[in-house]
Structure 1
């Protein structure tokens, strides 16, 4: 078998084995993270929660996530991604079920905080795990493959969640069943992950000997090549300038993204009431919007890999998202249809940036350093998920409108895009080309 054929068949086997399962796991994770936005349509009224209370509770998830992200990733590199993924999913499933029984704001805050603690390091664990089974040139497509779960979960979860809100069994309200029924799959998949996944290439039984040897050879060579450019420990990666700048850019991005994502059901319900759209119909409409985001996510990931370029793809997507977000707010008074079109474009831009962005850290870091960098970026970035929803909720209560909140979110995403472009101009250390590698090697020699 020639090398090109061997590469294609091996990559295809790895993709078919890992991506569907990790995709399903991430779908459930995303559902359990953002279903709070749909639960709010009933829960806030039943429990008497204001927009500020809901925004704080929705966002405090990311505070717990932030505090445990890096320690959790450090633990993951020691005990193995397979066991850690399993532990995370079982723990968050139990806490997600307990969300159905909150009655007071402080119970709400506590449950959401603990859910963030339980899920911390799940995403960097997935990225780190995949980077061990793919060549660098396939990273963006591989990441996009399971990250499609984010818009995919929303596309599926929107009509599903609005349907579950209509359930009234055994004295529990629809929002309570929403939490319970969407958490049970996480428990099942968490147990399955322990037996289905392999910690490293050497352990797999679903590749032939020739395929396994080839994959180990090419991934080992790439690791050694990266170490020629930069060799960091886990702790040193956390102090890297590029990692810190990426963290700041991701923070601004996530502040805008989660601000709109958590309140999108509420915003859409307000718009749909003008056209007398039912809650279930609104769920299907939101599902279609997220389906469009999935298509754009695939396109951007493939185009980014084809051009071997990351940062401009990220910056352009975030800018389109920000402008569309602000435009949707201005146009809402004149055309509900156009407002939803711009909201869809905002989602497409926000999701499209994911895969090229997360292909950046593994391009200049490897091993435990890559795991630490991904954890820090995700941890600091998702802290923006704490501020975004809370600020939007506060502005809504203070002004009675989402208008100024949308402007704030859009501005935040534009700042994030500029920060990521700033990284290109000033550091230029992601290994997107031979020129980048040579430039950075020269810098290393001069500093040593």
Structure 2
């Protein structure tokens, strides 16, 4: 006799928990490694600059050129996950971006720096859009926002861990290599190792998951198929139709302004902290600077947690975004006040770090709150493209400001203005009233 099937609610609960437990930890680790390899050049910047004599402008454009390469393959990467194989595509991405990140240790000229950053962006392109598509293969619609919110922790956590790890590596001179070279070699290697592992542990679809029973696979595939049919009955929205809606432009321009400051903050924060320490009469080497930087990012982890808890409990998204951005902009601006003791300046930076990440979880739920499901689906790619373009503009702008002789306080005021502008734009988004 076969055992009776569990009640539908129990089956659904079991499957959803099992999928989350099996997939999300690995995807989270991949996301942490991806963001670290994208941003670790900021940790190595001062030592690279001392050894290679790159200008501030060169670093600004080098940071930003990553996003030009990234944009080339962003959409094709998502399509390959949908129509080919997520595990094979992720393996390709991981191995090539790991090798490109490790190759940064060979850079000697500004041209090589630009090329290495461009290739890293090209190699990593398609990962985040691919993850979003991959989640649609496994998680019913009601579970996707929570899954994405969990991944958002990876951004500040990767930066906090990266600051601590890079701090130790910058002190090393193993095999005659400089510390900044070891930063790229040691932090790029995990991506290569994970790329070898992923094809063996990450199934493409529920039907390939041996850890699901036949009944569990059937329930999950039937649930996802029913959601796809529902979307098909609603009718698809084209990108042209979506771009006629003011909310799409407000979402895109809001995150573009915010990320202009946000990406520049990630890349230039160690330099800014070093300058602020010097102004306070506390000269510090690169390794010591990263101790303070890592603490700022730990407050970012707290910001993401607090935002997820608060916005999910209240169901409110827009004003959570605005509050986080206002906090980041205000406290970044306050951190530039002269003649303030370093510990007070550091406290202001920590509050700014809290706000700089607080807005992220509620923001990515906003498209489905202000647009129809079909319009949100087609608009997210456009919004994400604008978010990544900001990475080029922000870091290049700060590099040019530094080359023109402006100090770190002026650059921090520029970043504060970007956060303020982003919050102002997002505050204008009309919230769509759903029928009760």
Normalising by structure 2, report the TM-score: 0.89
Establish whether residue 195 from structure 1 lines up as the match of residue 200 from structure 2: yes
Work out whether 1:329 is the aligned partner of 2:329: no
Pairwise mapping of residues 351-370 of structure 1 onto structure 2 (< 5 A)? 351-361=357-367, 370=377
1:122 aligns with 2:127: yes
Per-residue CA deviations over 1:349-371 (Å, capped at 9, x if unaligned) read 2222222222344676779983x
Partner of 2:292: 285
Farther-moved stretch of structure 1 (86-95 vs 337-346): 337-346
**Ranges in structure 1 where 5+ consecutive residues have no aligned partner:** 439-448
Work out the number of aligned pairs and report it.
427
**Distance change in 2, residues 1:55/1:238 (3 Å):** farther
Describe the shift of the 1:251–1:152 C-alpha distance in structure 2 as closer, same or farther (beyond 3 A). Answer: same
Report whether the alignment pairs 1:15 with 2:24.
no
Per the TM alignment, residue 306 of structure 1 is displaced from its structure 2 partner at its CA by 3.0
Q: 1:214-233 residue pairs with structure 2 within 5 A? A: 214-232=219-237
Q: 2:110 matched to which residue of 1?
A: 105
Give the direction of change, closer, same or farther, for the CA distance of 1:237–1:119 in structure 2 (3 Å limit). farther
Say whether residues 1:84 and 2:89 are aligned partners.
Answer: yes
Give 1:68's match in structure 2, choosing from 58, 69, 73: 73
Q: Are the structure 2 counterparts of residues 216 and 316 from structure 1 closer, same or farther at C-alpha, using a change threshold of 3 Å?
A: farther
Is the contact between residue 248 and residue 379 of structure 2 (CA under 8 Å) also seen in structure 1? yes
Provide the rounded CA distance (Å) in 2 between the counterparts of 1:283 and 1:61. 23
1:415 CA displacement: 2.2
Secondary structure class of the residue paired with 1:378? helix
Residue of structure 2 in register with 1:257 after alignment:
262
Q: How many angstroms does 1:226 deviate by? A: 4.1
Return the alpha-carbon distance in structure 1 between the equivalents of residues 182 and 240 of structure 2.
45
Give unmatched runs, 5+ long, in structure 2: 1-5
Q: CA deviation at 1:113?
A: 1.0
1:275 and 2:282 correspond: yes
The one-character-per-residue Cα deviations of 1:239-286 (angstroms, maximum 9, x if unpaired) are 564544433222111101011110111111223343355544432332
Matches of 2:212 and 2:68, distance apart in 1: 41
Give 1:338's aligned residue: 344
Q: In structure 2, what is the Cα distance between the partners aligned to 1:336 and 1:208?
A: 58
Corresponding residue SS for 1:176 = helix
Which whole-Å CA distance do the structure 1 matches of 2:145 and 2:134 have between them?
14
Q: How has the CA–CA distance of structure 1 residues 71 and 376 changed in structure 2, closer, same or farther, with 3 Å as cutoff?
A: farther
**How far is the alpha carbon of 1:230 from its aligned partner?**
4.8
**Range moving further from structure 2, 397-406 or 251-260:** 397-406
Q: Distance in 1 between matches of 2:195 and 2:372?
A: 29
Counterpart CA distance in 2 for 1:209 and 1:319 is 50
- Does the aligned pair in 2 maintain the 1:35–1:179 contact within 8 Å? yes
